[in-house]
Structure 1
Amino acid sequence: MTIRKIIPFNPLDKRHLGESVGQAMLQQAVTSMTDLKTFEGAGIYAIYYSGGFPAYEAITQRNTNGKFNAPIYVGKAVPKGARKGGDLESSPGKVLYNRLTQHFKSIEEASNLDIADFHCRYLIVDDIWIPLGESLLIARFDPLWNKLIDGFGNHDPGSGRHAGLRPRWDVLHPGRHWAEKCQPRMETAEQIICEARDYLRNNPPPEDSLLINA
């Protein structure tokens, strides 16, 4: 007879800790991107799309009737200097709000997106848990703008630093002035749309936003 090995539950395992952070974020109220009010804190967030852009039908279907199950993008905002270490008791300021505001501006500048079609959830988190929560949520939901269409979270590289290729996000959603200064890509918006549809067909958005697999 084979004895089944049972691994004891460890509440301090990093995956379980990440799940608790991610689950807490997913239980937050959904806010329209047009209704964001200023607040302080660092943390994690998810952005949801419910519009009619041709490549995103599968996502929109999961984000209807007041239910938001499929984030198109997951991100984080950490306090300034967090990567180098610093004062653990210092205030993070409005880093999470500022990050969401940057995304608001990117969407508004895009010629083929409507900011009214975007909502978000966010959670203010102690600095140490932010990367863990973000990583688990990305692994769970495979958000399109994280995994396939890169560049949504990019910043203007600054004067004289536009030698790199234009981000794929800006090929598909033109409008950000700094991206127009970057070098053109060989691929077209139509090609990226086809890739996005294939990606969503092979990685369908989950039906339950509160379920995080163990």
Structure 2
Amino acid sequence: MARAPDRVAMDGLAKALEAVRESLGEDPSPTVIRRVRTGLAEHAAALEQMRASTDPISTPRASFDPADPKAIGRMVSIALLAQERVPLEKVTPAYGSGVYAIYYEGDHPLYAAISKSETPIYVGKADPQDGDASNPREQGPKLTGRLIEHAGTIKTAEGYSNQLPPGLSPISLSDFTCRRLVCATNAQLVAEKHLISTFWPVWNSETKACWGMSKHGDSAGTRANKRSPWDVVHPGRQWALDTRLDNSLSPEQIAERIDATLQKYPPRKDHAALLEEMLAGFRQDDGAPKDELVPPVGEEASGPDPDEAGGEDDE
């Protein structure tokens, strides 16, 4: 007697899952593990949709949970976008930790596509000085401190403008604006992650395009290895000018990676449309959009090296 088609199909599904488990072997590489986890997550969503389709009672595709880290990340990100943009050079010390976004408004050829847009060139977080801080004063002046530090880094590169090698263009601090949001302790962690996966800012290390702006710096004798892409196209920091350092990427490679990033994630031009896009993450009928965790240039593209001059990016 022939078996029912549904039983045959379910057995096939069980065998396929077992084959996936066996494919991992004894010591799978991080790349294989990541690939399998991603694939399983996609199939899990499809399985849940199939299961729901057989249920006569409908189920919302998403349930709003204000304690869910992803929901917190989206809410804090929207709150950040509600803040006014102010000149980066005008930021003064104030209490509070949280998240921030830096925007470019100049005419540098690498950033022409995002200039004056709603896509930040860099996003980051500032952790509180006290991990148990319950108010901005207890958090300390960490958020503005980080922005002032970044302003100083850009100002240093601007001061080197008259010594730029042929083919490089200058940047000016006056061409940068920022938004900042003081938020509850630890909310900045999930918000930064959501902002990166939403915009893939070209200066963030996770984007693997032009990382290195947030390095603190040390002697090339400490890490006599490579110069970060940011210091390649925006030279000026003394420790990164050391002749013992090689470039992590060439200016041409950096430009290609920035272009690839902006082609996959075109700059947002309209603030209202961007807010609508962010709000879509809370719609229950359509389901929340996924946070894309693979950089636009691809998983296998080289990125920041722990031994890179200047140490690890402080984000």
TM-score between the two structures when normalised by the length of structure 1: 0.86
Counterpart mapping for 1:86-97 below 5 A: 87-89=132-134, 91-97=138-144
Distance 1:199 1:8 in 2: 32
1:194 Cα offset (Å): 2.8
Contact map agreement 1:56 1:197 (CA 8 A) in 2: no
1:119 Cα offset (Å): 0.1
1:39 to 88, 94, 97: 94
Partner of 2:112: helix, strand, or coil? helix
2:190 to 95, 117, 132: 132
1:155 aligns with 2:216: yes
Gapped runs of 5+ residues in structure 1? none
Partner of 1:154: helix, strand, or coil? coil
Partner of 1:76: helix, strand, or coil? strand
- Per-residue CA deviations over 1:177-200 (Å, capped at 9, x if unaligned) read 121136212632133123212321
1:102 aligns with 2:149: yes
Distance 2:99 2:82 in 1: 13
Aligned residue type for 1:27: A
1:2 Cα offset (Å): 4.6
Distance 1:73 1:157 in 2: 22
Distance 1:115 1:186 in 2: 25
The structure-2 alpha-carbon separation of the partners of 1:204 and 1:156, relative to structure 1 and needing over 3 Å to count, comes to same
Higher deviation after alignment, 161-170 or 3-12: 3-12
Aligned residue type for 1:201: Q
- Per-residue CA deviations over 1:7-46 (Å, capped at 9, x if unaligned) read 4332322211111111111101111012112211111100
Q: Structure 1 vs Structure 2: percent identity of aligned residues? A: 35
Partner of 1:201: helix, strand, or coil? helix
Gapped runs of 5+ residues in structure 2? 1-52, 162-169, 282-315
Higher deviation after alignment, 123-132 or 189-198: 189-198
Aligned to 1:123: 181
Aligned to 1:75: 124
1:20 to 62, 75, 89: 75
2:266 to 201, 204, 212: 204
Distance 1:27 1:12 in 2: 21
Distance 1:128 1:158 in 2: 32
Higher deviation after alignment, 188-197 or 165-174: 188-197
Contact map agreement 2:89 2:148 (CA 8 A) in 1: no
Aligned residue type for 2:264: N
Higher deviation after alignment, 48-57 or 197-206: 197-206
Moved over 3 A (4+): 1-5, 87-90
Q: How many residues align?
A: 204
Partner of 2:103: helix, strand, or coil? strand
Aligned to 2:38: none
Aligned residue type for 1:114: S
Distance 1:2 1:26 in 2: 40
1:159 Cα offset (Å): 7.4
